[in-house]
Amino acid sequence: MSRLGRLSLIAGACFTAPLLFAALLRTGGDAAALETVPPSAEPRQGFAVPAAESVSDFRTAVWAPMTRAVWSRRSPKPDAPQLVRVRLRTPEDTTNLVQILDHKRHEASGRVWLKVRLTSLPNGQIGWIPRNAVGGQQSVETKLLVDTKKFSAELIVGGRAVLKVPVGVGQAISPTPLGEFYVRNKLTRYRSPFYGPLAFGTSARSNTLTDWPAGGHIGIHGTNRPDLIPGRISHGCIRLRNPDLVRLGELMPIGTPLEIQ
Amino acid sequence: MSDLTPGLNLAEIDPEGALNESIASGVSRSGFLRGLLALTAGAATVVAADQAFGAISRTGDSAILNPLLIIECMQAEFYRRAADSGQLPANYARLANEIAAIEAAHVAGLKNALGGAANDDPYLNFRGTTENPMRFIRTAVALEDLSTSTLAGVMDDFESEDNLTTVAAIYTAEARHSAGVRLAAGEHPAPSPVQKWESLPKVRKLLNETGFLTPKPTTVARQSPAFTG
């Protein structure tokens, strides 16, 4: 069928269907009114468009990049007590991200405030920042669960476990902190066998190595001692065997929530 | 002019008067787009849309399908974030949620068609338009107009008639969305006897000017970690 013919068929179907339906109603449901419509083959489709599904089934978190540094506050209003400064860049010189837990409009100013997870010590702090301090919000459908007792990391994608690997976690003197965190950057192409081929930076911080350079952030990285995994082997970071880490790097986007238990 | 949100002072959200002007001037697509642009032009980031369009394959149907993918991604995210914002009345939130699901299906379909030639998802900042009822519905009308006029403009460019058939089917869904959001905005659902069209270069320019497409944040770095180890 020619292009014009196909378009005519689609346009014709759009416009004649209501008319035929109306005619059917007028004739009291006489199906004979449809007999004048010539049969036609279903048009071939160039590609498949799936059925529409609920968009909120598998989202695990929403994040946004900081576009300016601001003070976080205890409640969603400009004169609430300050908590900590939320910076524009991370210690690794990537854009700082915040994980967004809630929105609230400050009625007096009309401005929207965001409830965010803070990266300062003690771990687990929550604060509020103005929405206009962040860029576009992104959502993820992934979650990384780290079990420090079973020495395992499990990646959930779209509600389904797609990767489960053994890990090394912090020793007794420098334990891996427990709680809810998020992945905020990925470092690649450095030359450090100790950290393996790539490393994820997280919002978690060591509770014991507080004077560590760059703030003592907990990373998820590879190793040059795969024989030590699984076990309590690190200064708090989560160590994976390098092939497992490369696989994780392919599957886990920035902004993924991290639960350490 | 329809009063979409009783109690809301339009001047507060539209200090330049651009949106007010576009509403008062009727339902012309260009007027809405101007209003949309005026709301966001201060932060327009030309480089982002150039990045989004620049990487596309220049040959075959992918040269058309990739720009359509960008627009469908933009719509899907716009409605999704609006539905998530918690700042819209229930009827708008429900509308946003329902259209978001369909736009997401369009995105999936176009990605199926493009395979490895598909562009990365654009990085989007809707600059508060998903959090305010008036700005949400006006922007929804503008985006649906942009979508339908873009689809109308590429119909003659496809090499594959099968692709054309599927895109035409998407077009009818977008036309219904356009009518639906217009009705929700208190506008005539189909103000023109024929759909106007826009060329892809013009669409690219319009997308640039919205400021919704923004550069991706730097989340990957070539740097040795300083984590605790």
CA-nearest residue to B220 within chain A is: A186
Q: What is the nearest CA distance from B28 to chain A, expressed in angstroms?
A: 24
Strand blocks (E) in A131-240: 138-140, 142-147, 152-157, 160-170, 179-188, 198-205, 217-221, 231-234, 238-240
**Per-residue DSSP letters for A91-134?**
TTSSB-EEEEEEEEEETTTTEEEEEEE--SSSTT-EEEEEGGGB
| Distance from C-alpha of B107 to C-alpha of B124, rounded to nearest angstrom | 15
Structural domain B45-210, CATH architecture: Up-down Bundle (1.20)
Contact list, A40 vs chain B (CB under 8 Å) = none
From A60-64, A212-216, B98-102, the region with the lowest mean pLDDT: A212-216
- Which of these, B143, B135, B131, B142, lies nearest to B73 by C-alpha position? B143
What is the per-residue pLDDT for B58?
A: 54
Inter-chain CB proximity A135 and B214 less than 8 Å: yes
pLDDT at B55 over 80: no
HSE, CB side, 13 Å, CA atoms: give it for residue A189: 3
Distance CA A212, CA A177 (A): 15
Q: What is the pLDDT of residue A147?
A: 98
Is the confidence at residue A179, as pLDDT, over 90? yes
The predicted structure's pLDDT at residue A4: 53
Give contacts of A189 with chain B, Cβ < 8 Å.
222
Residue B224 to chain A, least CA–CA distance (Å): 5
CB contact under 8 A, B228 and A53: no
The tens digit of pLDDT for each residue in B80-139 reads: 999 988 889 999 999 999 999 999 999 999 998 898 888 888 889 888 899 889 999 999
Taking an 8 Å cut-off on Cβ atoms, the answer to whether B217 and A95 are in contact is yes
| Cβ-contact B133, B88 below 8 angstroms | yes
pLDDT of residue B54: 52
Least confident interval from A46-60, B34-48, B117-131? B34-48
Q: What is the pLDDT of residue A138?
A: 87
Q: Is the complex ipTM higher than 0.85?
A: no
Q: Which amino acid is at A249?
A: G
What integer best gives the mean pLDDT of chain B? Answer: 78
More confident residue, B16 or A245: A245
Report DSSP state, residue A33.
G
pLDDT at B24: 39
Asked if B180 and B99 count as a contact pair (C-beta separation under 8 A), the reply is yes
Rounded CA-CA distance A226/A233 in Å is 11
Is residue B29 over pLDDT 80? no
Which pLDDT value is given to residue B47? 53
pLDDT score at A43: 79
**Three-state DSSP class for residue A5:** helix
Quick check: A90 pLDDT over 60?
A: yes
Break chain B into its structural domains and give their ranges: 45-210
Q: With CB atoms and an 8 Å threshold, state whether B109 touches A212.
A: no
Q: What average pLDDT score do residues A234-245 get?
A: 96
Region A132-150: mean pLDDT is 93
- B226 pLDDT band, cuts 50/70/90, is confident
Give A135's DSSP letter.
Answer: -
Identify which of B87, B126, B155 has the shortest CB distance to residue A105: B87
Instruction: Give the model's confidence band at A32: pLDDT under 50 very low, under 70 low, under 90 confident, else very high.
Output: low
Domains defined along chain A, listed by start: 3-36 (no CATH), 61-139 (2.30.30.40), 141-260 (2.40.440.10)
- Per-residue pLDDT, averaged over B167-196, amounts to 92
Average pLDDT rounded to a whole number, residues B219-228: 87
Choose the weakest-confidence range: A159-173, A234-248, B201-215.
Answer: B201-215
Q: Which two tokens stand for residue B177?
A: 């969305």
Q: What average pLDDT does the segment A84-91 reach?
A: 95
Q: Please, which residues bridge with residue A71 across strands? A: A85
Select from A34, A3, A5 the least CA-distant residue to A17.
Answer: A34
